[in-house]
């Protein structure tokens, strides 16, 4: 997208183009990636116990490792 890669001129000042920074990575990990992974991990563990205890079948990699 050329919109995000070009520098802009505002009132005579050249404003640098947006870029991905270390702080953006930290915020992405803190507010998007880690919470999503924790929710998916909790869902996977809950489904494992539901399938193992209530349905009596194998679910996921943990059944094959037993």
For position 18, what pLDDT does the model report? 80
Is the pTM higher than 0.85?
A: no
Q: Give which of 39, 37, 51 is closest to 61, Cα–Cα.
A: 51
Sorted by sequence, the CB contacts under 8 Å of residue 35 that are 6+ apart come out as none
CA distance 42 to 38: 6
Question: Chain-wide mean pLDDT for the chain?
Answer: 83
Q: What is the CA radius of gyration of the chain?
A: 23
Beta-carbon-side half-sphere exposure of residue 7 (alpha carbons within 13 Å) = 6
Q: Which residues of the chain have pLDDT under 70?
A: 1-5, 60, 62-63, 66
């Amino acid at each position: 997208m050329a919109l995000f890669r070009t520098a802009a001129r505002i009132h005579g000042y050249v404003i640098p183009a947006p870029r991905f920074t270390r702080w953006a990575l930290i915020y992405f990990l803190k507010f998007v990636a880690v919470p999503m992974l924790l929710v998916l991990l909790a869902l996977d563990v809950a489904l494992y116990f539901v399938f193992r205890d209530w349905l009596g079948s194998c679910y996921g990699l943990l059944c094959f490792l037993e």
